[in-house]
Amino acid sequence: MLLDVVKIFVPWTVSFFIGLAIAPALTHYLYKHKMWKKTSGKQKGLGGGGTPIFNKLHKEKDTGTPRMGGIVIWMSVLITIFIFWLISWLYPTDFTQKMDFMSRGQTWLPLFTLIAGSLVGLFDDILVVSGKGKYIAGGLSLKARILIVLWIGLIGAFWFYFKLDVTSVLIPFIGEWYLGLFFIPFFMLVMLALFASGVIDGIDGLSGGVMGTIFSAYAGIAFFQNQIDLAAFCAVIVGGILAFLWFNIPPARFYMSETGILGLTVTLTVVAFLTGQVLVLPIIAFPLFATVLGNIIQVASKKIRGKKVFLVAPIHHHFEALGWPSYKVVMRYWVISIIFAIMGMVIALIG
- Coil, strand or helix: which one is 172? coil
Expressed as residue numbers, the domain containing 208 is 2-279
Q: Which residues contact 95 (CB under 8 A, 6 or more apart)?
A: 3
> Does 68 fall in a domain?
yes
Give the CA dihedral 221, 163, 73, 272, nearest 10 degrees: -30
> Does 35 fall in a domain?
yes
> Does 306 fall in a domain?
no
Query: What is the predicted pLDDT for the residue at 133?
Result: 57
- Convert the pLDDT of each residue in 247-278 to its tens digit: 998 888 999 999 999 999 999 999 999 999 99
Whole-prediction pTM: 0.93
**Pairing outcome for strands 168-171 and 175-178:** antiparallel
DSSP string, 190-254: HHHHHHHGGGGTTSTTHHHHHHHHHHHHHHHHHHHTT-HHHHHHHHHHHHHHHHHHHHHSSSPSS
- Convert the pLDDT of each residue in 192-244 to its tens digit: 999 999 999 989 999 999 999 999 999 999 999 999 999 999 999 999 999 99
- Percent of the chain, pLDDT > 90? 81
Lowest mean per-residue pLDDT among 38-42, 201-205, 329-333, 344-348: 38-42
50, HSE (Cβ side, Cα atoms, 13 Å): 4
> Does 308 fall in a domain?
no
Report the residue count for the chain.
351
How many structural domains compose the chain?
1
Cα–Cα distance measured from residue 201 to residue 199, given in angstroms and rounded to the nearest whole number: 5
> Does 332 fall in a domain?
no
Query: What is the predicted pLDDT for the residue at 136?
Result: 47
Residue 206: count other Cβ atoms within 10 Å of its Cβ: 24
Give the CA dihedral 23, 220, 5, 165, nearest 10 degrees: -100
> Does 310 fall in a domain?
no
> Does 29 fall in a domain?
yes
Query: What is the predicted pLDDT for the residue at 43?
Result: 52
- Coil, strand or helix: which one is 311? coil
DSSP string, 129-169: HHT-BSSSS-B--HHHHHHHHHHHHHHHHHIIIIIS---EE
> Does 298 fall in a domain?
no
**Would you say 69 and 244 are in contact if contact means Cβ atoms under 8 Å apart?**
yes
| Helix orientation angle between 206-224 and 326-350, rounded to the nearest 10 degrees | 10
- Coil, strand or helix: which one is 33? coil
